[in-house]
Amino acid sequence: MHGSCDAARRRVLARWVGLPLAPAGCRFPRDPEGTLGDVESSGTVRVGVLDSEPWASWTGDAPTGVEPALVVAFAGPLGARPAWRHWRDGNLHEALEEGALDLLVGGLVDDDPWKDRLALTRPYLEIAWVAADAEGRPLASLDGVAVAAPPGTPLPARIEAAGGRAVAPGDAEARAAARRAWLVPPDRLDDAAILATERHVVAVRQGENAWLLRLERFLRDLDRDSLRRQLAATGA
């Protein structure tokens, strides 16, 4: 009996000895292109910023908005500062795919057309667009209501479909008298007419998994209530 047990142990040991071992100090996940290490060593994170208020917009040489502020907060503990790239400089999605950028922000959502060519974070915030009166109370119906929606969003079509009238961005007088489109947490609405629900993400280059994980950890720990208050305060 003991002999058979010893032989079995030797066979198991032989299998283990034959397994390939990971090199000492090898870290997983890894960045094939070394993005995280490059950012930490260079002190620079290259960020493409799309115009998409209130998430991000350009004022002079630097972007403003919720997501550029998040990038600054993310880069600080890495000992890095953002080097911003404007959307007018070219196709930022393509630049990220080719490795010319480290991050892409600016109102990206989880169904972005480039989702199969870039790596998107998990949605860090879900927000609903609703129309509200002057006191910020969401409207239950948009029938016959003029609503001023931010440009560059799908909201004008949604407003029309809900029976309202979308006011053109250039019609300043009409916009001043119109209801406004507001961003609010969808789980805090009762009978509001929700125009759209968005799940917001940040994009990185595919395969840079250590970099993506570091970003995911940062986004996971965000104060979402504070973010929602910032967004709700912007209106449209």
Q: What is the pLDDT of residue 12?
A: 32
Which range among 68-82, 126-140, 190-204 shows the weakest confidence by mean pLDDT?
Answer: 126-140
Q: What is the pLDDT of residue 209?
A: 95
Domain membership of residue 159 (yes or no) is yes
CA-to-CA distance for 109 and 113, rounded, in angstroms? 9
Domain membership of residue 45 (yes or no) is yes
Note whether 119 and 150 are within 8 A (CB). no
76 and 111 share one domain: yes
Q: What is the pLDDT of residue 4?
A: 46
Peptide bond into 68 cis (omega under 30): no
119 and 219 share one domain: yes
214 and 100 share one domain: yes
112 burial (CB, 10 Å; 0-12 / 13-18 / 19+) is: middle
SS (H, E, C) 46-62: EEEECCECCCEEEECCE
Q: What is the arithmetic mean of pLDDT over 154-170?
A: 87
Burial 143-160 (b: 16+ CB within 10 A, else e): eebbbbbbeebebbebbe
pLDDT digits (tens, 9 = 90+) for 11-24: 333 333 333 434 44
* Alpha-carbon distance values, 59 to 51, 63, 161 (Å): 10, 6, 33
55 and 144 share one domain: no
pLDDT digits (tens, 9 = 90+) for 112-139: 999 999 999 999 998 888 888 877 778 8
41 and 115 share one domain: yes
Q: What is the pLDDT of residue 70?
A: 96
Question: For the chain, what percent of residues have pLDDT higher than 70?
Answer: 81
Does the CA dihedral 221-223-225-230 come out positive or negative? negative
Give the range of the structural domain holding residue 157, as residue numbers without chain letter. 127-198
Three-state secondary structure call for residue 184: strand
The tally of domains found in the chain comes to 2
